[in-house]
Amino acid sequence: MINLKILFEDNHIIVVQKPVNIPSQADKTGDEDMITIIKQYIKEKYQKPGEVYLGLVHRLDRPTGGVMVFAKTSKAAARLSEQVREKQMCKKYLCIVDGKMEKEKDIFTDYLLKNERTNTSKVVSQDTKNAKQAVLDYQVLKYNAITHLSVVTVNLHTGRHHQIRLQFASRGHSLYGDQKYGTRGRGKQLALWAYSLSFLHPIKKERMEFIDYPEKVGSWKILEE
């Protein structure tokens, strides 16, 4: 059982930090996942008998760490899921990319096609069957001329499969430690972190924002340089 870092909790939602390399929900590996971990925490803390309800309303890829919100009631789950569909939930990421970006800030728009068999995606033309539009904007925080790496903040407009990783890699700026699309840091931890999450509280309707930065270890030491 991981040491669960809770950023906020009430009767309706729980906001936590997902550590890297832990699945958001159970998968074929059978490894410990966030849903199981949080359910166990709720069951033990509140001494709940029987099955604990916990709604998954968004996901982070297994190698990505950062802020996640889970619903503790079906009503909260429905309302948060609607915010995801209506793009009212705002997700921002930190990433370390190869090279120096051509622009300090920009918008990327592409069309991506997922390959279910290989669990990868690729950039395709707009008229490709089953292609989905992917949009993000980014801003460069810093560039290290010695390592030739850039720290970038990303604001996701859409939530496509491997979107950030693929959109940067397709422009020659793959994420450091990306085993699928990368060129730098093979064997290292993927340098992608969901540092900010904002949404309307499903019951109180108040705008909430949670910020949680990665520890400045490993690749993230670049943040304090």
Residues tagged active-site = 61
Q: What share of the chain is helix, strand, coil (3-state, %, to 5)?
A: 15, 35, 45
CB atoms within 10 A of CB 150: 22
The two three-digit tokens of residue 178, written as one number = 């990306």
Give the residues across from 68 on adjacent strands: 16
Using CA atoms, how far residue 132 sits from 52, 63, 123, in Å, is: 35, 23, 10
CA 82 to chain centre: 18
Q: In the Cβ-directed half-sphere of 201, how many Cα atoms lie within 13 Å?
A: 14
The tokens describing 20, both together, are 């890297």
Give the whole-angstrom CA distance, residue 195 versus residue 197: 7
181: which DSSP letter? T
For the chain, list the strands marked E by DSSP: 5-9, 13-18, 55-56, 65-71, 90-98, 105-115, 120-124, 132-144, 149-156, 192-200, 207-211
